[in-house]
Structure 1
Amino acid sequence: MLVREAMTSPVVTIPRTATVRQAIRVLHEHDITALPVVDEAGGLAGIVSEMDLLRGVFERDPRAFARPVATTANPVPRLVEEVMTREVETARPNTDVATLADTMMRTRIKSVPVLAGAGIVGIVSRRDLIAILARGDARIRDDVLAAIDEYGPDGRHWDVSVQDGAVELLGGDADEPARRVADILARTVPGVTRVSIQGHT
């Protein structure tokens, strides 16, 4: 399965010149946990997470939720570019989801922007990965069969079984090209973790 099939798109972004408070409102309104930060040309400048924004509020003013005190001059609001992460792990639409998931687990990154060229075309979060894994085996089986029926070689019959996302294809009359096509099609289905092809005994 490829990243383009798992990512959330279109992406909600925030300008680097937005204030921390504005970014917090955007996260809350869209029920998301991180925002790619863009520069004036729309390119990726960084990423800002819930934790970055909370630190931006509380480290600047530990009394952020205390009763307001009248002052003669209010401080300039902290900007997103001051609290964002600049070194961003990114992915491409044709990256394998398993490879990206391994990177996210190893680095403990929660969200990864997806780039096509210099443009931001999507984002993959832990929530997206969980949604894929939550798909039931029966639905995965139906989707695998539908993909093979629609795009596979004409008249080819496959028996499909799915256990915890692992797909087993049984097609004794399939030649090597047909087996490769079936393998590729099965891997495109959301929720598939592994594919094996067996011949009839």
Structure 2
Amino acid sequence: MKGENLESVKVREQIRSVLDLTKAGDIMKTEFEVVDPETTISTVVSRMRALDLHEIPVVEDHNKFVGIVSYASLIKRRNLPITTKAKSVIEIPPKITSNTVLTDLAEKVVSTSYRQMPVLRGKRISGIVSREDIVRIVPKVKELASMPVSEIMTTDVQSVREKDPIRVAVDLMSKLEIRALPVVDDAGKLTGIIGIKEIINYNWQEQRRETVGELVGSSKPIEIEVGSLAIDHPLTVAPQTHLQEAIRIMIENKISTLPIVEDEKLKGIITTYDIVELVASFKARDMVYVQITGLEEEDRLSLDVMDEEIERELKKIAKISKPTLFTLHVSKYNEAGNVAKYSLNGRLITEDKVFVAKATEWNLMKATISLMHTLSEMVKDTKEEMVAQRKNVRISS
């Protein structure tokens, strides 16, 4: 193993050892909200809205865990009557105990996209741990605290315009499985942030509450513009801002999405999910962690072939820089009659850097091949730049 690679491995091991000093039991909250299996979705959503929760545990018989109800699952079932009982829509998350170490905990959060998850003692809930609880630990690791946000931000940012109908924002959030979007004007200048919470709050006040879809503005879209509900003058940071400072802003202001702005133009975005994903990348594992989301049922037949293509390219990338985590989200658009167009967003974390790429094709496999090729080239170019910089340092010294 080359000296520089050995040094990189040592640094990663040091970072992981510091992160994993923290366990779920150290950061979990022991006071939390729950609902009964017989509670109606109307009541569940009302409590989640009032308490600003995206997931809520369902329990019976003195905190015996049954499952959780999440906004994400409700949005996908837009025709569901809100008189439906909670027990009919529960999901079972990966098991977390008080001894689950931070990197393992982060991976479980990434695998579900939940904002908070229950910590179990046997069959009962002993606490709740959130993305924010994980993110708070990152500034304790100096190598991560001093990292510029430009190194992990998403640069190909999906946004909506002020005059777009709300249904455009709702559809985009649903396809990308996200809960907030930047709002820009015709010149590309950031003017606000629109979140699913603002849309639900509006629909709740307007009493549009017969189905979940009506509640989030997707079954009977609200005929108002994005700008009417967006939060004006959002907090932003510059690309060179250290991760520690970005986290401080997020935690103090209770926000999960932070736009990156330079010269008044939107350059990228960073979320608590991105930071949790970074933590998960340090988990000790023999193979790179791969997660694919957004595939519709009819496209799952392509999953094996996609896996083969991704594995092939990751092996090539591993010869240049060891990959630790790869996530891919698939969005599907029907732009030409019944012909679907695929948009793929990929994030690759290696021992050297975080890489983000996008590919759009009419064919899912072509899009996958294009995305993986782009990431391979990005890794190769970055490695060559690093080698050139080292040579220049040696020459100058």
Normalised-by-shorter TM-score class: 0.5 to 0.7
- Residue 167 of structure 2: which of 21, 32, 39 is its match? 21
Distance 2:234 2:389 in 1: 37
Distance 1:64 1:43, change over 3 A: farther
Could you report, residue by residue, the CA deviation over 1:93-127 in whole angstroms, capped at 9, with x for unpaired residues?
Answer: 11111110111111111101111212111001111
Q: Is the 8 A contact 1:10 1:122 kept in 2?
A: yes
Residue number among 60, 77, 101 corresponding to 2:223 in the alignment: 77
Look up the equivalent residue of 2:172 and give its one-letter code.
V
Code of the residue aligned with 1:62 in structure 2: it is: R
Structure 2 Cα separation of the partners of residues 37 and 3 of structure 1: 20
Please point out which of 261, 268, 275 is paired with 1:115. Answer: 261
Q: Is the 8 A contact 1:6 1:97 kept in 2?
A: no
Aligned: 1:106 with 2:252: yes
| Counterpart Cα distance in 2 of 1:101 and 1:133 | 13
Rounded to whole Å, the distance in 1 between the matches of 2:388 and 2:351 is 12
| Contact 2:154–2:268 under 8 Å retained in 1 | yes
What SS is found at the alignment partner of 2:244? helix
- Structure that is richer in helix per residue: 2
How far apart are the structure 1 equivalents of 2:188 and 2:207? 31
Q: Any unmatched runs of 5+ in structure 1?
A: 69-73, 156-176, 179-201
1:29-57 Cα shifts (integer Å, max 9, x gaps):
11222111111222111101121122233
SS, match of residue 352 in structure 2: helix
| Matching of residue 143 in structure 1 with residue 349 in structure 2 | no
Rounded to whole Å, the distance in 1 between the matches of 2:221 and 2:152 is 42
Partner residue, 1:40: 186
Check 1:46–1:64 CA distance in 2 against 1; reply closer, same or farther (3 A cut).
Answer: farther
Displacement after TM superposition at 1:133 (Å): 1.6
Unmatched 5+ stretches in structure 2:
1-146, 215-219, 285-321, 325-349, 354-382
Percentage of identical aligned residues: 23
Please state how far the C-alpha of 1:60 moved relative to its aligned partner: 2.4
Specify which of 78, 89, 92 is matched with residue 235 of structure 2. 89
Aligned to 2:211: 65
Task: Tell me how far apart the structure 2 counterparts of residues 63 and 142 of structure 1 sit (CA, whole Å).
Answer: 48
SS in 1 for 2:178: coil
Equivalent pair of 1:15/1:39 in contact (CA under 8 Å): yes
Aligned-pair CA distance for 1:151? 3.3
C-alpha distance in structure 2 between counterparts of 1:121 and 1:142, whole Å: 24
| Matching residue within 154, 165, 170 for 2:394 | 154
Query: Normalising by the residue count of structure 1, what TM-score does the alignment of the two structures yield?
Result: 0.64
Change (3 A) 1:60 1:40: farther
- How many Å separate the matches in 1 of 2:180 and 2:213? 28
Code of the residue aligned with 2:352 in structure 1: it is D
Q: CA RMSD in A?
A: 3.3
Question: Based on CA coordinates, which of the two structures has the bigger radius of gyration?
Answer: 1
Match of 2:370 in 1: none
The structure-2 alpha-carbon separation of the partners of 1:42 and 1:67, relative to structure 1 and needing over 3 Å to count, comes to: closer
2:177 corresponds to? 31
TM-score relative to the length of structure 2: 0.34
Shift of 1:75: 10
C-alpha contact (below 8 Å) 1:9/1:122 kept by paired residues: yes
- 2:257–2:272 CA contact under 8 A, matched in 1: yes
Q: Is the 8 A contact 1:20 1:57 kept in 2?
A: no
Alignment size in residue pairs: 151
Indicate conservation of the 8 Å contact 1:16/1:39, yes or no.
Answer: yes
C-alpha deviation, 1:63, in angstroms = 2.7
Which amino acid is 2:179 matched to?
Answer: T
Higher RCO (C-alpha 8 Å, min separation 6): 1
The separation in 1 between residues aligned to 2:177 and 2:259, in whole angstroms, is: 17
SS in 1 for 2:239: coil
